[in-house]
Amino acid sequence: MLNELELVHSDIMGCTKCELHKSRTRAVPGEGPHDARIMFVGEGPGQNEDEQGRPFVGAAGKFLTELLESIGLKRTDVFITNIVKCRPPNNRAPRKSEIEACNPYLQSQIRLINPRIVCALGTPAITTLMGDEYSASRHHGKPSTKGEVTILPMYHPAAALYDASLKETILHDFRLLKRLLENMETLNPGTPKSSEPSGRKQTLEKWV
């Protein structure tokens, strides 16, 4: 699967499917283990990400690292990406057409990485993965399932940088993430992801 994922990321680096490619410095496919148990999906690259070609390397990324450490995880344990892989000008919200153009890449990443849990960070990621009726304010911390994948909607870490009162809410949702993962491992002790039945893979392919 690693080679297939590399091919997807190569396609992203040269993508010209929407207007965002015209103003980018670098596309940002995402990073993390090709078989990560947890995938984080944010909105889009910012200035730091655009310059470095890596996701979540600014202030929000620093907070995400702290959140992971608070539940005993490292960045290298998880896969991190966004619904659009190029920075929208002036950090504006990505347009629907841009999200739709990039969505096949995200779908391929989910299919190939085959995570147990997908954390949707912020309303744009939540609506992309769950539907237009979902939002961070109403549905954060309320896991849902598609096939055998658990989707956990969360506030984007950047939200706490603008509204400090959300920090405890976000920390609470990360503690929930830890419990979800622990429960999954309790139900399937000692089972590596690569050894899971092919039926789960087929379910994921139908979803994405």
Give the model confidence (pLDDT) of 66-100 as tens digits. 999 999 999 999 999 999 999 999 999 999 999 99
Model confidence at 189, pLDDT cuts 50, 70, 90, reads low
Q: From CA 12, how far away is CA 194, in angstroms rounded?
A: 25
Q: Which domains does the chain have, with CATH numbers?
A: 2-189+199-207 (3.40.470.10)
Model confidence at 202, pLDDT cuts 50, 70, 90, reads very low
Residue 200 has pLDDT above 50, yes or no: no
- The per-residue pLDDT for 146 is 86
Token pair recorded at residue 84: 């659009």
Tell me how far CA of residue 86 lies from CA of 41, 147, 175, 205, in angstroms. Answer: 14, 29, 30, 25
To the nearest 10 degrees (0 to 180), the angle between helices 198-207 and 96-113 is 170
Report, as an integer, the average pLDDT of 159-183: 97
Q: What is the pLDDT of residues 26-65, one digit of tens each?
A: 999 999 999 999 999 999 999 999 999 999 999 999 999 9
Q: What is the pLDDT of residues 12-26, one digit of tens each?
A: 999 999 999 999 999
Q: CB of 28 within 8 A of CB of 50?
A: yes
- The per-residue pLDDT for 148 is 80
- Averaged pLDDT of the chain: 91
Tell the burial category of 197 from Cβ atoms under 10 Å away from its Cβ (0-12, 13-18, 19+): exposed
The amino acid at 71 = I
Q: From CA 176, how far away is CA 90, in angstroms rounded?
A: 33
Q: CB of 198 within 8 A of CB of 148?
A: no
More confident position, 49 or 199: 49
Residue 143 has pLDDT above 70, yes or no: yes
More confident position, 189 or 9: 9
Token pair recorded at residue 16: 């010209």
Residue 193 has pLDDT above 90, yes or no: no
Model confidence at 196, pLDDT cuts 50, 70, 90, reads very low
- The per-residue pLDDT for 194 is 42
